[in-house]
A = this chain, B = another copy of it.
């Protein structure tokens, strides 16, 4: 595995892949890798001749009250995991390499960013759009891999790629789950023993809501069923339960052919998110 920190070295590393017509799969991450990232890398490995992973804790997507410095890092372990995933090139730039200067041009997410998790993180998705645009240009991938767990991020990046004609394909990778259905997350370790036993109710609740929506197409009723199941089965406090169009993420579900049921729940020391998508309003 090639390990590079500067753009020039990245370009050299991928030059051979590009000029020999190899397909390039790209997995952008903020490091502190877990099984979710591994499933992205595994899919990239299956689909492509050459796999690039990036590790960059992007300052542009942290708000003034969000602690960039406290974001967990473990580069040594990440390198080992990337090697295990048969990544060909690992790019882990410093911030000054990614943002050496700023001419003031900005990219802004639209209404998609004002709902779900974005509602409480103003500017967060603008920072995501900035870094993925830069990374996509640097790596020039054939395919990029994002997890369905971060559904809002996925929706916004799919919209960016579609509306700005990026010459690449976005691959959605399904959420990896524990055997009891709980979505895997590095935050699950912050759950108390009791909370951990309750947490699978979140995914059950989403499934119940989706099943009901499939049959009755009633948004409010589906949300109510999901809400009640979480309230009954856990000690957590619901941040949101939303059923929206996908990828527009509007309450007018007629704007897209897909919908998403997305949930965020606060426990004592962890906020968990999960979601399910329904394509063509019934499949």
Residues of A bordering B, CB below 8 Å:
7, 19, 21, 101-112, 129-130, 133-134, 137-138, 140, 156, 159-160, 162-167, 247-248
Q: Which of B102, B111, B138, B164 contacts A133 (CB 8 A)?
A: B164
A129 engages B105 (CB within 8 Å): yes
21 A/B residue pairs, CB under 8 Å, sorted by A: A7-B165, A103-B110, A103-B159, A103-B162, A104-B111, A104-B112, A105-B107, A105-B108, A105-B156, A105-B159, A105-B163, A105-B164, A106-B108, A106-B110, A130-B164, A133-B164, A134-B165, A137-B164, A137-B165, A137-B166, A138-B167
How close is A259's CB to chain B, nearest CB, in angstroms? 16
A101 partner residues in chain B, CB cutoff 8 A? 162-163
Minimum CB–CB distance for A38 against chain B, Å:
27
A157 to B: closest C-beta gap in Å: 10
- Given the complex, which residues of B lie within 8 Å of A103, measured CB to CB? 110, 112, 159-160, 162-163, 247-248
Interface pairs A-B: 8 shortest CB-CB:
A104-B110, A103-B159, A137-B165, A134-B165, A106-B108, A103-B163, A138-B165, A137-B166
